[in-house]
């Protein structure tokens, strides 16, 4: 292998290891310095061997980077007009590469359909459909589509490259967003979704992994893989009864596979994302996807300000309206939602959310329904006052008992006197009376 080829390979290996977050920039800089020193000596070494030798990478990580380089070169040699720089990531449905668009000398991202799906017409159609749908959208907060095509059996979708991170990267590290930062991000996303809805499109998979944040702080909504046109009745009927979405953020009507899904499903998912951002946890947790989805359908949402008590009542009310189980109880449009999001961000109460809560309470009163009342363990009277009342009651009972006994005693005495009086009267009605007098003898009475 010629020296310049080795240098090219070493550069590519190091860049790809960094892109895949297998090493830090400092570690790569040190390896490059040592590589340059050793390449002029009698014992030259390649970047992959050096990084393993210095324990920057494990042998298996180095082998994985090598495989990515080979794969990238295969892709690069097939897609005209682009040079693949490295692999950014992969999922169940696609592999994404970082590349250079040669004609405009700009960095782009290329999504490639894996070979195992190429022979399946429905996957190919869905891949093309994602590209066509993305091309309809032109908004600063949506990843821009550039090209979609096929060459030599390789299906590719070229899009804007966002240098930064995903929202999921922050959340997976345990970050809990402050209210203002979270609102700034969600407002950008709501604007992006408002634009999509205006074009008759629903995203159906709003979640942290599909939200990019550039180094400049610009938020970008990505991945239109599940996006559907609201007017596509044929697709809606074909998907009837099937749940499309991500369990942690999916709307109840998507779980049920309803036909008439609209933009309010995206409002629910955006609410779930905002909930996760400000509380540090997803709205519903369980050990299996099916149990998570059951909770979305049946369980009451724990208000976010009950988890993070530093949150304002306003943002909590907004999230609860966004995540209402019945879509009729949510915000009707993204425009309505934006009114409340901006109000809360500016320190004002959410007008529309407050109206929703007030109308719901009024409706329950009109219908004669019981309104749930929050219960607390707070006592109306202190234990000391209660004890005093108890002593007073006991004393009153004792006094009443004594009084009753006195009344009974007096009643008995009165009864005895009455009986004695009757006995005396009956004795005087006879011929003689025996009168006992210690000083006199009995005297006859005629």
Cα→Cα distances 272→6, 278, 371, Å: 49, 10, 26
pLDDT at 39: 79
- Do 53 and 97 belong together in one domain? no
- Which two three-digit tokens encode residue 247? 């369990």
Residues 42 and 186 in one domain: no
Domain-located, residue 344: yes
Residues 197 and 309 in one domain: yes
Domain CATH number, residue 148: 3.30.200.20
Same domain, 1 and 84: no
Looking at 306, 333, 366, the residue that finishes a domain is 366
Q: Name the DSSP class of 309.
A: T
Q: How far apart are CA 198 and CA 338, in angstroms?
A: 15
Same structural domain for residues 283 and 207? Answer: yes
Give pLDDT, residue 291. Answer: 96
Q: What is the DSSP code (8-state) at residue 142?
A: B
pTM: 0.69
Structural domain boundaries enclosing 322: 164-366
> Residue 117's pLDDT is what?
87
CA distance to 130, 213, 268, per residue, from 352 (Å): 34, 29, 16
Residues 175 and 130 in one domain: no
Do 156 and 168 fall into the same domain?
no
Residue 123: phi, psi to the nearest 5?
A: -70, -40
Q: Hey, what are 362's tokens?
A: 């009024």
Number of domains in the chain: 3
CA–CA dist 203, 185 (Å, integer): 17
Domain end call among 132, 161, 190: 161
Residues 122 and 182 both lie in one domain: no
pLDDT at 280: 96
Cα–Cα distance measured from residue 185 to residue 180, given in angstroms and rounded to the nearest whole number: 9
Say what the pLDDT of residue 411 is. Answer: 83
Specify the pLDDT at position 433.
Answer: 39
Residue 382 lies in a domain: no
Active site residues: 205
Domain assignment present for residue 306? The answer is yes
What DSSP assignment string belongs to 151-215? ETTEEEEEEE---EEEHHHHHHTT----HHHHHHHHHHHHHHHHHHHHTTEE-S---GGGEEEET
Within a domain: residue 222? yes
**In this structure, what CATH number is given to the domain that contains residue 220?**
1.10.510.10
Q: Tell which phi-psi region holds residue 174, choosing left (phi > 0), alpha (psi between -120 and 50) or beta.
A: left
If asked whether residues 56 and 130 sit together in one domain, one would say no
- pLDDT tens for the 446 residues of the chain, in order: 444 444 578 888 888 888 778 899 899 999 998 888 887 777 788 899 999 999 999 999 998 888 877 776 767 667 889 988 888 877 778 889 899 999 999 999 999 988 888 888 888 988 988 899 999 999 999 999 999 999 888 899 999 999 999 999 999 999 999 999 999 999 999 999 999 999 999 999 999 999 999 999 999 999 888 888 888 777 777 777 778 889 999 999 999 998 889 999 999 999 999 999 999 999 999 999 999 999 999 999 999 999 999 999 999 999 999 999 999 999 999 999 999 999 999 999 999 998 876 665 545 544 554 434 343 444 445 566 677 777 788 888 988 888 888 998 888 888 877 777 666 555 554 443 344 444 444 444 33
> Which of 313, 331, 366 is the last residue in one of the domains?
366
Res 347: pLDDT: 95
């Amino acid at each position: 292998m010629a020296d310049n080829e080795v240098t090219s390979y070493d550069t590519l290996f190091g860049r790809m290891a960094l892109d895949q977050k297998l090493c830090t920039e400092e570690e790569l800089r040190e390896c490059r310095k040592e590589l340059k020193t050793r390449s002029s000596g009698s014992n030259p070494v390649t970047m992959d061997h050096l990084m393993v030798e210095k324990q920057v990478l494990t042998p298996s990580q180095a082998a994985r980077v090598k495989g990515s380089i080979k794969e990238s070169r295969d892709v690069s040699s097939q897609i005209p007009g682009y040079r693949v720089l490295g692999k950014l990531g992969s999922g169940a449905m696609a592999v994404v590469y970082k590349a250079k668009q040669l004609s405009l000398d700009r960095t782009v991202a290329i999504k490639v359909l894996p070979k195992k799906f190429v022979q399946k017409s429905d996957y190919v159609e869905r891949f093309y459909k994602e590209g066509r749908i993305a091309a309809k959208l032109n908004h600063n907060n949506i990843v821009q589509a550039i090209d979609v095509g096929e060459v030599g059996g390789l299906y590719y979708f070229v899009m804007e490259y966002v240098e930064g991170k995903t929202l999921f990267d922050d959340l997976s590290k345990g970050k809990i967003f402050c209210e203002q930062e979270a609102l700034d991000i969600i407002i950008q996303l709501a604007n992006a979704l408002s634009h999509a809805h205006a074009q008759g499109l629903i995203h159906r998979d709003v979640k942290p992994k599909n939200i990019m944040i550039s180094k400049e702080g610009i938020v970008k909504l990505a991945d239109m893989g599940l996006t559907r046109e609201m007017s596509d009745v044929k697709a809606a009927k074909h998907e009837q009864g099937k749940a499309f979405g991500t369990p942690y953020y999916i709307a109840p009507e998507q779980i049920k596979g309803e036909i008439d899904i609209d933009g309010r499903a995206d409002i629910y998912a955006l609410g779930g994302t905002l909930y996760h951002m400000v509380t540090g946890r997803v709205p519903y947790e369980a050990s299996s996807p099916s149990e998570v989805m059951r909770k979305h359908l049946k369980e009451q949402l724990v208000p976010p300000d009950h988890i993070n008590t530093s949150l304002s009542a306003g943002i909590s009310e907004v999230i609860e309206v966004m995540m209402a189980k019945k879509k009729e109880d949510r915000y009707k449009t993204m425009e309505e939602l934006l009114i409340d999001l901006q109000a809360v961000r500016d320190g004002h109460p959410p007008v529309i959310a407050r109206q929703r809560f007030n109308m719901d309470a009024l409706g329950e009163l009109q219908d004669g329904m019981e309104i749930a009342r929050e219960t607390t363990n707070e006592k109306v009277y202190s234990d000391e006052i209660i004890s005093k009342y108890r002593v007073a009651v006991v004393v009153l009972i004792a006094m009443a008992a004594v009084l009753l006994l006195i009344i009974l005693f007096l009643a008995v005495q009165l009864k005895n006197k009455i009986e004695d009086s009757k006995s005396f009267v009956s004795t005087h009605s006879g011929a003689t009376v025996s009168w006992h007098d210690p000083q006199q003898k009995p005297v006859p009475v005629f």
